[in-house]
Amino acid sequence: MKGDGVAIVMLGPPGAGKGTQARKLSDSLKLPHISTGDMLRESLKNQTELGKKAQQYMNSGALVPDALVDAIVAERLDREDCSKGFILDGYPRTLAQAQALQPLLDQKHRKVLAIGIEIEDSVLVQRLSSRWSCPKCGKVYNAQLEPGKRNGRCDECFEELVQRKDDTEAVVAKRLQVYHNNTQPLIRHYQDQRAYCNVTGDQPIDRVFEDVKKLIENHK
């Protein structure tokens, strides 16, 4: 599979499987997986200045202000491991973020491929409320579809699985609304740049991954 030198942007609503697919791609392409949600959760856990500022937004399902997120992404993309390309998951999430990202990509002559995972809202609500993840490696499980082999523990690190605070019904509704208002317009933005392709998210993880790999192989 080709993927070198490309900035892959995973787009899609919360619960579509962006993180799961980004992790699989990262393993397969040997490119770093950069998830702003994971970076922010880590800052929150460590109660850094950024974490304290982001907390109220994250807990209510709102977006953290662009300037804060743009700064952590710019710093992250500057690291050596991004020199051959990277996979962005959860960023950009607003048009302003896409505009902040563009000059960073231009500087490095990096082309974007935005991969949208498309899926109905009704499926997402169901998925998110049964989503559990490993606090150590971030692997995601689904109590119904992908329960894991070790009854409540991560198959790989044996850590006890946890449920995200923002996966409650009320916060999920808010996150979906934020997605439709702020993030969905990015589809058009990347379509206009001829840099958007999509896969159907409502199918087994490995089938979605096959589709994602084909898109990358066909991308010139």
**Residues designated catalytic:** 18, 93, 131, 164, 175
Judged by CB under 6 A, does residue 127 bind ligand AMP? Answer: no
CA distance 212 to 206: 10
Pairing state between β 140-142 and 131-133: antiparallel
Contact call for residues 112 and 190 (beta carbons, < 8 A): yes
DSSP 8-59: EEEE--TTSSHHHHHHHHHHHHT--EEEHHHHHHHHHHTT-HHHHHHHHHHH
CB of 192 to ligand AMP, least distance (A): 20
Stretch of 2-10, 60-68, 144-152, 190-198 lying at the interface with ligand AMP (CB under 6 A): 60-68
Contact call for residues 92 and 128 (beta carbons, < 8 A): no
Considering only residues 8, 16, 29, 64, which one is a binding residue for ligand AMP as defined by CB under 6 A? 64
Nearer to ligand AMP, 46 or 151 (CB): 46
SS3 111: strand
Judged by CB under 6 A, does residue 58 bind ligand AMP? Answer: yes
For the chain, the first-to-last Cα distance in angstroms comes to: 12
Bridge partners for 216 per DSSP: none
Considering only residues 11, 69, 172, 212, which one is a binding residue for ligand AMP as defined by CB under 6 A? 69
Judged by CB under 6 A, does residue 117 bind ligand AMP? Answer: no
Considering only residues 13, 61, 116, 201, which one is a binding residue for ligand AMP as defined by CB under 6 A? 61
- Please state, as a whole number, how many other Cβ atoms lie within 10 Å of the Cβ of residue 137: 13
Stretch of 53-61, 76-84, 109-117, 187-195 lying at the interface with ligand AMP (CB under 6 A): 53-61
Cα 154 versus chain centre, distance = 20
Stretch of 33-41, 100-108, 121-129, 200-208 lying at the interface with ligand AMP (CB under 6 A): 33-41
CB of 125 to ligand AMP, least distance (A): 14
Closest residue to ligand AMP, judged by C-beta, is 37
Binding site for ligand AMP (CB under 6 A): 14, 36-37, 40, 57-58, 61-64, 69, 90-91, 93, 97, 166, 175
